[in-house]
Amino acid sequence: MTVIATAGHVDHGKSTLVRALTGIDPDRWDEEKARGLTIDLGFASLDLPSGTEISLVDVPGHIRFLRNMLAGVGAVDGSLFVVSATDGWKPQSEEHLRILSLLGIRHGVIALTKVDQVDEDLFELAQLDVEEHVEGSFLEGAPVIGVAAPTGLGISDLCAAIDEMVAAIPPPSIQTTPRLWVDRAFAPAGAGTVVTGTLVRGSLAVGDHLQVNPGGQVARVRGLQRHNKPTETIEAGNRVAVNLTGIDHHQIGRGHVLIAEDVWHETTMVDASLTVLAQLGHPVSRRGAYVAYLGSAELPVKVRVLGESVLQPGESGAVRLYLPRSLPLVPGDRYVLRESGRDETVGGGEILDVDPVLPASKAKPTRSLDRLVRERGWVHADYLARISGEMVEPTVGTWVVAPEVLQLTIEEVQEKINEAGPLGLDIAELDDRQRAALDLVENVSIAATRAKIGDAPDPLADHPWVAALDTAGFQPPGPDGVDRAEVRELVRRGTVVEQDGVYFAASTIERATTIVGELATEHPDGFTVAQARDAFATTRKYVLPLLGYLDRTGITQRNGDFRMPGRRHPLNR
Ligand SMILES: Nc1nc2c(ncn2[C@@H]2O[C@H](COP(=O)(O)OP(=O)(O)OP(=O)(O)O)[C@@H](O)[C@H]2O)c(=O)[nH]1
Ligand SMILES: [Mg+2]
């Protein structure tokens, strides 16, 4: 379903038109009804002739309530642009049009209201006037429908025009993770907290857990309503009321955001495009009390112009925005920038990077996924998805990496392997990225923790020291003259064992195990070190480390001066 917002100067008949179209009075507050003036956003649903149901957001036209208007149009798909035929184009007609353009809105219908109060000539003049003002904007060529709310004149034509516009709006993506900009929060009796907003991405279901930004609390969706009707699930492009448990209605309000847990990048610094309004009377620099409107949020921001130091009226460039609190943003989100000192709309644009890595002096932000990857070298695919808002297939392992960067890493690993010598490279020496690239190095074989060039022979097979250890048995020679890396690798492989600086061949330990069994038969109550020394036909120098090793590995168990076969001895297994 589509969400359309009204726009236009104060008193031009927006709310009256919404009521004429839907039967619903969007002015909800007593003060609004008493003053005949919209202060805050109003909402209504409209059944179009085609059967499509859309949501209407009614915004205030008065300049004093512009911030409410901005909160209402941050997430809409199209505009019902209202101009009074009696009044013609006015300052907020102009400002609303600029704001909608800056927000990237592409679809609109123009209603020329109060035609019951003008004659045909005046009507035509008013129509020409409007067409001239919208020239070059997204409203150029939009249908202009004359309407008179009191008589109902033109209402059905307007409905048909809205129908046609809605049909041309591409459906929003529901394959993404949900984000709901909150525009209202309240606590109806007995229902806990209810928030309303426009769901721009993803879908929601009863039972979902959602994170509240700011604050980080997790709330559960107890109920969902679309246009006052309960529903189990709701998709992007809808106005929605969400009944939440786990959060008090005082803790949430306009400008807050509900998001899926742990999948959004919440940021306090973004790079964005900025188009400065041509009508602005001065350039944009970092000086100024700026306020950014993002979704339903209104935030004071610091602005740094990237590249040039200032942007002239009518120019487009890039800026870095520093936010006072973190927001869950993705590239493509639109914003409007105002200056509160002069109370003027400065411009607006599109978020390009939600986690800039380059210093402001070097940053050249674009929407390109390639740039995000190149600036970072190696990126985890899930992080990239979070900061880009797009699903990305990993290039290697869980990483996305530019081809030439990957090639460099492959070469780096190749070189390390070449340098490692015949034993191969200990994989523990590689970092995460190099390890991911290892699979792509050609002709490499990986055995246990070592990587080496594929068909190189195993230099440790038939090692002479191992043969010497085996022959010497219980009086083994030391590792003198043997390469230390080879000794370590032989121990790691288990071909050789070490205890207190003495090395034994694995085959010697096997023999010792058999002899321990024989000793146990001879001495059922346990054998002494001296008895073991004699049975192994060796000296104390060797029997102590040997027994130490056997104790440590559970082949023997020591009890005071006596030893018995341990829990790892074949007799006990
Ligand atoms: N005669 C006539 N009066 C109209 C028509 N549309 C609106 N009005 C009157 O114009 C006045 C303003 O209408 P609203 O609908 O409140 O105007 P609005 O654009 O919503 O104003 P804000 O929300 O304050 O910006 C009201 O007194 C309406 O009755 C129309 O088509 N014909
Ligand atoms: Mg109104």
pLDDT digits (tens, 9 = 90+) for 542-570: 999 999 999 999 999 999 999 999 998 98
Which are the contacts of 378, defined by CB distance < 8 A and separation ≥ 6?
A: 399, 400, 401, 405, 409, 433
6 lines ligand 1 (CB under 6 A): no
pLDDT of residue 28: 81
Q: Is 139 left (phi over 0), alpha (psi -120 to 50) or beta?
A: alpha
Q: Predicted confidence band at 141 (pLDDT cuts at 50, 70, 90)? A: very high
Neighbour count for residue 189 (Cβ, 10 Å)? 4
Measure 244 CA to ligand 1 centroid, in angstroms.
36
Neighbour count for residue 140 (Cβ, 10 Å)? 11
Going by alpha carbons, the residue nearest to atom 14 of ligand 1 is: 13
More confident residue, 222 or 417: 222
Which letter does DSSP use for residue 15 in this model?
H
- Residues forming a β-bridge with 7: 81
Kindly give the number of the ligand 1 atom that is closest to the alpha carbon of 19: 15
Q: Predicted confidence band at 287 (pLDDT cuts at 50, 70, 90)? A: confident
More confident residue, 350 or 188: 350
Q: Predicted confidence band at 448 (pLDDT cuts at 50, 70, 90)? A: low
Confirm if 54 and 238 have CB atoms less than 8 A apart.
Answer: no
pLDDT of residue 457: 66
**Statement: residue 456 has pLDDT above 70:** no
Going by alpha carbons, the residue nearest to atom 8 of ligand 1 is: 13
CA–CA dist 228, 411 (Å, integer): 62
Q: Predicted confidence band at 398 (pLDDT cuts at 50, 70, 90)? A: confident
Cα angle value 369/374/380 (rounded, 5°)? 75
Cα angle value 404/378/368 (rounded, 5°)? 80
pLDDT of residue 162: 96
Alpha helices for 142-255 (secondary structure H): 155-168
- Average pLDDT over the chain, rounded to an integer: 90
Task: Report the pLDDT averaged over residues 218-239.
Answer: 90
Measure 337 CA to ligand 1 centroid, in angstroms.
29
Task: Report the pLDDT averaged over residues 209-236.
Answer: 91
Which letter does DSSP use for residue 424 in this model?
-
149 lines ligand 1 (CB under 6 A): yes
Identify residue 39 by its one-letter amino acid code: I
Element (H, E) at 321: strand 316-328
Among 269, 340, 347, 235, which Cα is nearest to 298's?
340
pLDDT of residue 264: 92
Measure 60 CA to ligand 2 centroid, in angstroms.
5
Percent of the chain with pLDDT over 90: 60
What are the structure tokens assigned to 383, written together? Answer: 């992080």
CA–CA dist 97, 95 (Å, integer): 5
pLDDT of residue 424: 72
**Statement: residue 174 has pLDDT above 90:** no
CA–CA dist 391, 389 (Å, integer): 7
Q: Dump pLDDT digits (tens) for 66-112.
A: 989 988 888 888 999 999 999 999 999 999 999 999 999 999 999 99
More confident residue, 462 or 532: 532
Q: Predicted confidence band at 489 (pLDDT cuts at 50, 70, 90)? A: confident
CA–CA dist 401, 398 (Å, integer): 10
Confirm if 103 and 334 have CB atoms less than 8 A apart.
Answer: yes
**Statement: residue 523 has pLDDT above 90:** yes
**Statement: residue 422 has pLDDT above 70:** no
pLDDT of residue 353: 96
CA–CA dist 147, 169 (Å, integer): 24
**Statement: residue 438 has pLDDT above 80:** no
Mutate to test the pocket of ligand 1, among 6, 11, 18, 38 (most ligand atoms within 8 A of CB): 11
pLDDT of residue 268: 96
Measure 322 CA to ligand 1 centroid, in angstroms.
40
Which are the contacts of 58, defined by CB distance < 8 A and separation ≥ 6?
A: 5, 6, 14, 15, 18, 26, 27, 38, 41, 42, 43, 44, 72
